[in-house]
Amino acid sequence: MKIWDWSYVWEAFPYLYQGAIVTIEATLLGFAIALILGLVFAMIRQSPNRYVSTTMAEIVEFIRSTPLLLQLFFVYFVGPQIGIFIPAWTAGVGVLGIHYAAYCSEVFRGGIENVDGGQWEACTALNLSRTRTWRTIILPQAIPPMVPALGNYFIGMFKDTPVLAAISIFEMLQQAKNFGGNNYRYIEAITMCGFFYYVFSLVASAIVQSVRVWLNRRYHLQ
Amino acid sequence: MSEFVLRFEDDLTKRPRASARRDELDLDIRRSEKVMNEPIVRFENVTKRYGALTVLDELNLEIARNEKVSIIGPSGSGKTTVLRMLMTLEHINGGVIWVDGEPLTHTQKNGQIVPASERHLRRVRAKIGMVFQHFNLFPHMTALQNCMEAPISVLGLSKKEAEARAAELLDLVGLGDKKNHFPIQLSGGQKQRVAIARALAMRPKVMLFDEVTSALDPELVGEVLNVIRKLSAEHDLTMLMVTHQMGFAKEFSDRVCFFSGGKIVEQGPPSQLLGNPQNERTQQFLNAVLETR
């Protein structure tokens, strides 16, 4: 028996391709949720009402302090027992998004707090509305420096997608494992998976880097 | 708190009654005279505390229309707080600030005095502009865009109108050729002049200058003061300025207020207050300041 057999590579390809699509979809959707929800979390944490901001801080802390897999089990397996039925895909992408939203919200919070307090005062003095202040003054200054950290979480989330297998979503690694099981042959499929994760991560970090450069230029930040 | 509310209500009810006594014929004339003679800004027993520290202690201060007032005093005397409260950057703990005849942070609702809504705040605040010690320009916008942002989004000007207004004001402060520069490309003095133009673009009635030359290199102070000089000579603006530039305060102001320990210790025309101060603390302060020059 050969250690590496190219015929298995070609045979595994369609399986892995299907899985890769699922993995990428889950990553993109999950990260979109993480970004939007993370920003919402961060803005709620800035609330002048102490109870609101403390509650939000506790929720974020809780999500960050428990494993992703546990949260997934909770929604998918515990949920139905208390009458909440959520399809695997929705639950998977949703939990991934919420889990990373907690991390992203910390990045957003740091970025927002880094904006000089004088900017807020200038906005008040110029009578800008709250929304206008956030949208045109604070966020354009806060977001560019956050891009590298957000990019790390994007890649981190991508590498966390295999947990979706635990609630029977056929993402790439699960497909590879099944292929291996069916053929008693793991090396090609698993190696190909690894290669794909590696390449995707490299491409993603290159994209993050150029987004950062572009944003800095666009907003004339150093 | 209840005491403050009572006094406040008295004030609101007293005013119309007083004018009702007057002859009906010249009521209107008197009323308009009254509006013109009424101070544009009036601090009435305004108190500000940070925890146990009282920064301003029952401050009473009236500023007439078009009056130029300088506020001087040692650091920690509450002089900057006066400006910041007027700009609603600080909450007040007691008393009332009147702007153009309206209470700044309170409104009357169903006969009760309640904290003002955001809408009321924004309406009254529109009459006031402020220039900061550290400029606080928006770093991601050009000089022109800095001056256009608020006129477009707050006053509802079209982009064209806002641009014309911003360009005119940048010309006024002598930066017509730096319109498309970003703050990072400007010197401190130029930044501060953009900040002045930005505040003026909102057409405020009252301009607040908070130590506007303190963060500047000495050789750049002059260009900023020249702009303020020009403004006060050519425009009907009430100006309130916290400054350490005694020479400028003397030449620019109608009145100088010396603050110490959260109170106005002494005030008067600049020649008198700076030339012949009566209060011992004023004398000490001026001696100390003038010695270091």
- Name the nearest CA neighbour of B5 among B114, B128, B124, B127: B114
Q: Which residues of A touch B88 (CB under 8 A)?
A: 124
**Nearest-by-Cβ selection for A125 from B118, B130, B139:** B130
CB contact under 8 Å between B202 and A116, yes or no, is: no
Tell me what pLDDT residue A222 has.
Answer: 61
Give me the pLDDT at residue A51, please.
93
- CB within 8 Å: A125 and B129: yes
Alpha-carbon distance A213 to nearest alpha carbon in chain B (angstroms): 14
Q: Give me the total of CB pairs closer than 8 Å, taking one residue from chain A and one from chain B.
A: 64
Q: Which residues of B touch A127 (CB under 8 A)?
A: 122, 125-126, 150, 154, 202
| Measured distance CA(B125)–CA(B105) in Å, rounded | 10
> Residue B89 is nearest to which of A124, A129, A136, comparing CB atoms?
A124
A130 contact residues in B (CB cutoff 8 A): 118
In this prediction, residue A217 carries a pLDDT of 84
Whole-number pLDDT of residue B207? 94
Q: Is the pLDDT of residue B19 over 50?
A: no
User: What's the pLDDT band for B153 if we cut at 50, 70, 90?
Assistant: very high
On the question of pLDDT at B34 being above 90, the answer is no
Instruction: Return the pLDDT at B75.
Output: 85
Exposure string for B223-255, b = 16+ CB within 10 A, e = fewer: bbbebbeebbeeeebbbbbbbebbebbbebbeb
pLDDT digits (tens, 9 = 90+) for A90-100: 999 999 999 99
Q: Give chain B's mean pLDDT.
A: 84
Q: What is the mean pLDDT of residues B213-240?
A: 90
For residue A135 the two structure tokens come to 């949208």
Task: Compare all CA atoms of chain A with the CA of B126 and give the residue at the minimum distance.
Answer: A127
What are the chain B neighbours of A129 within 8 Å (beta carbons)?
A: 122, 153-154
What's residue B293's pLDDT? 53
- What is the reported pLDDT for B148? 94
> pLDDT under 70 in chain A at which residues?
221-222
Residue B266 to residue B277: CA distance in whole angstroms: 8
Q: Do A118 and B134 touch (CB under 8 A)?
A: yes
Going across the sheet that includes B68-72, the strands are B128-131, B206-210, B238-242, B68-72, B255-260, B263-268
Q: Scanning every residue of chain B, which has its alpha carbon at the shortest distance from the alpha carbon of A131?
A: B153
CB contact under 8 A, B184 and A220: yes
User: A136, B132: Cβ pair inside 8 Å?
Assistant: no
Cβ-count burial A133-144 (b if 16+ within 10 Å, e if not):
bbebbbbbbbbb
Distance CA B3, CA B121 (A): 23
Would the CB atoms of B154 and A116 count as touching at under 8 Å?
Answer: no
Most confident range (mean pLDDT) of A59-63, B27-31, B212-216 is: A59-63
The pLDDT-based confidence of B227 (bands split at 50, 70, 90) is very high
Which pLDDT value is given to residue B33? 56
Tell me the domains of chain A and their CATH numbers: 6-218 (1.10.3720.10)
Please, what's the largest Cα pairwise distance for chain B? 62
The pLDDT of residue A80 is 85
Q: Do A221 and B139 touch (CB under 8 A)?
A: yes
pLDDT of residue A165: 87
**B interface residues, A as partner, C-beta within 8 Å:** 87-89, 118, 122, 125-126, 128-130, 132, 134-140, 149-150, 153-154, 182, 184, 198-199, 202
Tokens read off for A125: 């003095």
Q: Does residue B86 register a pLDDT over 80?
A: yes
Q: What band does B32 get if pLDDT is binned at 50, 70 and 90?
A: low
> Chain B residue closest to A144 (CA)?
B140
Interface test with A, best of B99, B105, B153 (most A CBs within 10 A): B153
Q: Which of A126, A141, A219 sits opposite B154 (nearest CB)?
A: A126
Residue of chain A nearest B198, judged by CA positions = A126
CA B21 remoteness from chain centre: 34
Spell out which residues of chain A touch residue B130, defining contact as CB-CB under 8 Å.
125
Contact between residue B153 and residue B202 where contact means Cβ atoms under 8 Å apart: no
B288 close to B272: Cβ distance less than 8 angstroms: no
Say which range, A168-177, A195-204, B131-140, B279-288, has the weakest mean pLDDT: A168-177
β pairing state of B206-210 and B128-131: parallel
The model's pLDDT over A26-71, given as tens digits with 9 standing for 90+, comes to 999 999 999 999 999 998 988 888 999 999 999 999 999 999 999 9
Worst-scoring range by mean pLDDT, A169-178, B53-62, B242-251, B269-278? A169-178
CB nearest A220 (choices: B87, B129, B140): B140
Structure tokens at B169: 């004001």
Confidence of residue B26 (pLDDT cuts 50, 70, 90): very low
A contact set with B (CB within 8 A): 116, 118-119, 121-122, 124-130, 132, 136-137, 140-141, 219-222
SS3 B122: helix
**pLDDT at residue number B27:** 47
